[in-house]
Amino acid sequence: MKAILPGSAIGVLGSGQLGRMFAIAARRMGYRVHTFSPDQDTPTGQVADLEVTAAYEDLDAVRDFARNVSVVTFEFENVPTATAQAASECTAVRPNGEILHITQQRVREKQFITKAGLPLTPYREVHSREQLQTALHELGYPAVLKSAAFGYDGKGQFLVKSPDQLTEAWEAVGADQAVLEAFIDFEREISVVAARGVDGSFVHYGAIENEHSHRILDISIAPARIDPKLAAQAVEIARVVLEKLEVVGVLCVEFFVTRVGELLINELAPRPHNSGHLTFDACVTSQFEQQLRAVCGLPLGSTARYRPAAMANLLGELWSKGEPDWAGACEYPQIKLHLYGKLEPRAGRKMGHLTALECDVEQAASLVIQARRRLLE
């Protein structure tokens, strides 16, 4: 298959920070970037060559957008399936819309994982309050109820601790199709960000360790502080996922590591991932350049890491007392600052991140936390 070469226009459905960093990587390699979303002056639009503002449901606008680029990719998975289908009528879409269809809905995603014979958290599909009651009886308390669609950063989730929370839980996820997952007393969470090329080639960034706060990713550390054999097992599972889905692009597999050393798949994300942001500074080829290389049919790049690294998310709360002390954080020479160009800081909103590069993971994690604290001084 003929490669899409620099000078070509790449289309991005979505316009958030993932698209922004993708656009930076693409423009550095000489590509043009067009972004499509319902919003204006977006993180991606600020650095793209063209920002198209239209509803995802406006399929004629989607087709017009797709006709003017050489390939379309995604920066988040909650793009309607019909949008991906409309784009595919006019140009290549990578990853393809079927992958989007599977991974944007938890029931379909879990059915895929089960059929692939891969380990995942025990779950039940739930369509009504009565089915929820039955599922809780089977899985026990506590358990986590999640909306089947359009959930991210802990949204659409409810921890059910007792029978008297049934109605509250069902209403919290929209009283619609959901999945109930057994509560896992895990030791830690990890992710594997990997890429697959048009030719089936596969590369990965190893196991990355993740710490969450209020169900939003807070800190990522690479490499993960786990047994190397377990890390290799996680990579192999990720390889199977990408191959069975026939991914062309980047996909992240999120795992729970149980206290007895088992891996359970939590979620799939068919795009660059928050935990892989540290690759922008820490690796020869970032996850964003890797996505570009994959969807353009270029050879995949080296994922070698320069040094151990840690990433800390910067949420809107940091602005609660005014503008953070950016100069203070930048006094640490091993710190890299990334801001996403979002104009309105809100609680829980990802506004940017810091990356620390150090001699070992403990030092990197300590430094990035220290630098983030400095923003509030």
* Residue pLDDT, tens place only, 245-289: 999 999 999 999 999 999 999 999 999 999 999 999 999 999 999
Average pLDDT of 23-38?
98
User: In this predicted structure, what is the pLDDT of residue 160?
Assistant: 94
Q: The domain 122-182: what is its CATH number?
A: 3.30.1490.20
Phi-psi group of 14: left, alpha or beta (phi > 0 → left; psi -120 to 50 → alpha; rest → beta): left
Structure token pair of residue 114: 């089960």
Across 183-191, average pLDDT: 94
Residue 145 has pLDDT above 60, yes or no: yes
In the prediction, which pLDDT does 210 show? 98
Residue 149 has pLDDT above 90, yes or no: no
Q: Is the pLDDT assigned to residue 155 strictly greater than 90?
A: no
Q: What pLDDT, on the 0 to 100 scale, is given for residue 116?
A: 97
Q: Is 290 helix (H, G, I), strand (E, B) or coil?
A: helix
What would the pLDDT profile of 110-137 be if each residue is shown by its tens digit? 999 999 999 999 999 999 989 999 999 9
**pLDDT on residue 151:** 56
- Measured CA to CA, the distance from residue 212 to residue 308 in angstroms comes to 20
Mean residue pLDDT across the chain: 95
Quick one: which of 95, 87, 81 has its CA closest to 270?
Answer: 95
Helix orientation angle between 81-88 and 59-67, rounded to the nearest 10 degrees: 40
Q: pLDDT band at 77, cuts 50/70/90?
A: confident
Whether pLDDT at 152 is above 90: no
pLDDT over 90 at 172, yes or no: no
**Distance of alpha carbon 143 from alpha carbon 183, whole angstroms:** 5
Distance CA 193, CA 187 (A): 20
Which residues lie below 8 Å from residue 296, measured CB to CB, with a gap of 6+?
3, 4, 5, 8, 10, 31, 70, 71
Confidence of residue 103 (pLDDT cuts 50, 70, 90): very high
Average pLDDT of the segment spanning 103-111: 93
pLDDT exceeds cutoff 70 at 66: yes
pLDDT of 215 reads: 86
CATH fold of 9-93, please? Rossmann fold (3.40.50)
Superfamily of domain 186-374: ATP-grasp fold, B domain (3.30.470.20)
Quick one: pLDDT band at residue 61, thresholds 50, 70, 90? very high
- Give the model's pLDDT for residue 235: 98
| Coil/strand/helix, residue 244 | helix
Please, how many CA atoms are within 13 Å of residue 146, restricted to the half-sphere of its CB? Answer: 27
H or E element, residue 108: helix 106-115
Angle (nearest 5°) at CA 365 between 359 and 369: 130
Q: Residue 153 region, left (φ>0) first, then alpha (ψ -120 to 50), else beta?
A: left
Amino acid 154: pLDDT = 53
Q: Where are the domains of the chain?
A: 9-93, 122-182, 186-374
- The pLDDT of residue 153 is 53
Is a pLDDT exceeding 80 seen at residue 51? yes
| pLDDT > 90 in the chain, percent | 89
